[in-house]
Structure 1
Amino acid sequence: MKFTTLGRITAALLLSAVSFGLSSCSGTYTVGFLYVLSSRGSATDPNGTINEYGIDYQTGSLLTLASSGQSTEGRNPTNLVVSPNQKNLYVINHDDSTIQWLKIGTDGKLYPQKVTQLDGIFPTGIAISADSGYMYVTFTYRKTSLTANSGPGGVEVYKLGAPDADGGIAIGAAVTTGGNNYFPVGLNPSGIAVGPNLSNTSISDINNAACVTTPANCSSFVYVIDQDPTTFNNLLVFKRDIGTGALTPIGNTVIGSAASQGYLSGVTASSVAVAPRGVFVYVTDSASNQIIGYTVNGAGALTAMTAGPFATGSLPVQMTIDPRGKFLYVVDQNDSNIAGFVINASSGALSASGTGRTVLDGTRPTCVTVENALGIYLYTSNFDSGNVSAFQLNSTTGTLSKIRNSPYPASAAPSCAAAVANGSHATELIQ
């Protein structure tokens, strides 16, 4: 959005009275943009759609963009990820086994670029390394010459290209191992998270550019959750080669020809998250209504938090950690609420934040995200009610307050959401 000269002067006068200056939002009231997937197509168009919203700087309220409702160019989109430079959006289409790449314009509009066909079948999770070097996608079945749905799942790793003039990052070739275009995991992988690049000598050095130029001086770890009903140890840990993107199982992780095992994840692992500094890892167990927490040592091995597991509401399905690493929020699908936790900076232990559990103004939440420009606006996608709930979080206590006019309408059956910052901000939290 662009202002006339008079509009810019008026806006500057209006915002001079508030604590955040207009300059911190690049001359616009839009602090960021929110993208919400709609997984259900129609009789005439089976593909999903992407809802596009502008996030108001002062209130966190959502304004539907004129371009909203673009096709995902694939059926049943279930997950999405934003590139670290905030210029690209990638969507996985579960039923078509594809990845859609879209550029994000300065006005928040999405510009479709390319659709990549996966080698595996039915993707479930997607993540990008903090250095923008590689993309990681979990899938349910491996292809063989005998049948399309054979064997346990895997992780496809793609080399990402250098940013173009618009910041666009194309999906490159798949990383191969042992003649395959995937790294094997176990049965029914349901999610993935990539930790930051950590210096091997300084615990305070996170995502330093030197990690890319000299990968041997740094470490990065990848976490995959399976849903193998024969074991409770479905959290798999891999060391990520920063230079090649390749994955090597470490710690308790043992990859078998069919089943694989790692660390305790409960009965049904539904999501996995890594704290911004890479020292804590959390897994939601949707069957036992709990979060299992781990601390990460320098070699990547995990140690269970003695204060855990941490109780949630009914059927926790997805969680997020705020950009400051202070709070964790999880959506409880059966209760249609969101639970907030304070993260102990030393131990990683979770305790109820502010008001604890907050009832949503939508039903059957599927995803939760916090925008990373100011880090104070939180949104959930609500599958059954077809809308988006919006809250402002207190950066001191983690308490959630409903944003005026919430919930906001979305297309049918929203499955997940992600936010990007709009330009540069004085309070920007992007690393």
Structure 2
Amino acid sequence: MKRLYMLFFSALAFTTSQAQNKFNLLVGTYTNTCQSNGIYVYEFDANSGNFKLKNSSENVLSPSYLSASADNKFIYAVNENGTQSTVSAFGYNSKSGKLNFLNKNVSLGADPCHLINDSQNVIVANYSGGSIAVFKKKADGSITEVQQLVQHEGKGPNAARQEKAHVHMVVFSPDKKFVLSNDLGMDKVFIYKYNSASKNEILTLKGSVDVKAGSGPRHLTFSKDGKFVYLVQELDGTLTTFSYDKTGSLKLIAETSILAKDFKGGTGAAAIKISPDGKFLYVTDRVDANNISVYKILKNGSIELVEQQSTLGKGPRDFTIDPTGNYLLVGHQYTNNIVVFKRDKLTGKLKDTGKRIELCSPVGLIFTKI
């Protein structure tokens, strides 16, 4: 009898672990280049790397980047459409993958390209507008009109790309006391104090740090312990390491390049993410490079290159790592697919599984619980 119980509980534990390793993969797309419904929801099995389409939105205009609420009940999306850009809120049924449109409001800045949210606010980076827009959340998950607009003013030495401010990202500090924002046009990272409950002064400027002139800061990520920040610069492929302390101060401690020594051609560094265990850093590069660099993160926060390999597509705009750390998925804006790589958790190295999710112009990828 005892053995039967053990077998039963072992089987139950196995079944539970199998179920726990299934997640929803949400993909935001551009809808102006090929046929797309907007946001797609796939069930992804982190044990096998298999996937299946569960649902999609209907007639949502270019929801390129997405952000899920902490309670998994709402999804927020930017709608990139030049000066007519908006930000949308959706109810989200994670079991069915169904998205229920709630409302949208103008972003008050052209081409929003990134956003974050917490229980009170949705904060958006307007790329062409060079501004940060803050929306309040209503009880039903919908958003108010913009309650605060923070406008950046300035430019950089690259006349073609830095003719004015270009806010490319907003990210919460680990303790949610600050919001960091990269400005590609100004070669600066701004640090704002975050006053979540304020009505219209949610963000107040604490300071900023300069990076190399003409480098164009794009995306950053915090180390797992919150003591370091890794920033990739789009225009020249610089990868910068900062130390970070709880007062919201960044201090530059190292710089390297994601470009191979013999590389010649166009570069356009894109996304930067850390593995769930905090041990490896991944960075994508576009234009002619179309590759991903893998770095090991050492205990002192420094990094060392593990490998660099092709993403097997063109325009690797964004990628994501499943919550178990088993797989890394790269979305290709121009070859219209997502390439599924298997991750070696010990070395950080990537191996092509041969699995491809085919869809129009994938741009932003996030995982949520089911």
**TM-score, structure 1 as length reference:** 0.71
Q: 1:364 to 1:101 in 2, by over 3 A?
A: same
Contact 2:281 2:295 in 1 (8 A): yes
**Secondary structure in 1 aligned to 2:335?**
coil
> Match for residue 196 of structure 1?
174
Q: Structure 1, unaligned stretches of length 5 or more?
A: 1-11, 142-151, 176-180, 198-218, 254-261, 423-431
Select 1:247's aligned residue among 198, 203, 214. 203
Amino acid of the structure 1 residue aligned with 2:240: I
Distance 1:389 1:399 in 2: 15
Match of 1:136 in 2: 123
Identify the residue that residue 382 of structure 1 maps to in structure 2. Answer: 332
**Which amino acid in 2 is paired with 1:249?**
L
Q: 1:153 matched to which residue of 2?
A: 130
Is contact 2:227–2:244 with CA below 8 Å preserved after alignment? Answer: yes
Q: Distance in 2 between matches of 1:310 and 1:350?
A: 12
- Matching residue of 2:179: 222
Number of equivalenced pairs: 341
CA separation of 1:53 and 1:64: change in aligned 2, threshold 3 A:
same
- Within-5 A mapping of 1:290-329: 290-306=238-254, 308-312=255-259, 314-329=267-282
Measured against aligned partners, the alpha-carbon deviations of 1:187-236 in whole angstroms (never above 9, x if no partner) come to 12122212222xxxxxxxxxxxxxxxxxxxxx6221112222xx5x3211
Instruction: Specify the SS of the correspondent of 2:64.
Output: strand
Aligned mate of 2:296, from 336, 342, 354:
342
The answer for the alignment partner of 2:160 in structure 1 is: none
Whichever residue aligns with residue 268 of structure 2, its letter is L
| Alignment counterpart, residue 84 of structure 1, candidates 27, 49, 70 | 70
1:331-387 deviations in whole A, cap 9, x for unaligned?
A: 1113222111122233x222123xx11222322211011122x23221111112110
Partner of 1:24: 17
Summarize the Cα distance change of 1:63–1:30 in structure 2 as closer, same or farther, 3 Å threshold.
farther
* Alpha-carbon displacement from aligned partner over 1:14-38 (angstroms, at most 9, x marks no partner): x949xx732235xx48610112222
Q: Distance in 1 between matches of 2:27 and 2:223?
A: 23
Of 150, 153, 166, which aligns to 1:183? 150
Residues 358 and 22 (structure 1), Cα distance of their counterparts in 2 relative to 1, 3 Å cut: farther
Name the structure where strand makes up a greater proportion of residues: 2
C-alpha separation between the residues in 1 aligned to 2:294 and 2:197? 37
Residues 349-364 of structure 1 mapped to structure 2, 5 A cutoff: 349-353=302-306, 356-364=307-315
Q: How far is 1:294 from its partner?
A: 0.8
Q: 1:39 to 1:325 in 2, by over 3 A?
A: same
Alignment CA distance shift 1:402-1:140 (3 Å): closer
Return the alpha-carbon distance in structure 1 between the equivalents of residues 17 and 136 of structure 2.
34
Gaps of 5+ in 2: 1-6, 154-164, 261-266
**1:310–1:421 distance in 2 versus 1, CA, 3 Å:** farther
Distance 1:264 1:416, change over 3 A: same
Matched, 1:63 2:80: no
User: Does the 8 A contact of 1:29 with 1:57 survive in 2?
Assistant: no
Instruction: Label 1:274 to 1:160 Cα distance change in 2 as closer, same or farther (>3 A).
Output: farther
Query: What's the RMSD between the two structures over aligned residues?
Result: 2.9
In structure 1, distance between residues paired with 2:311 and 2:191? 33
Corresponding letter in the other structure for 2:210: Y
Q: What is the identity percentage for the equivalent residue pairs of Structure 1 and Structure 2? A: 19
Residue 92 of structure 2 aligns with which residue?
Answer: 104
30, 34, 39: which is aligned to 2:25? 34
Distance 1:327 1:102 in 2: 33
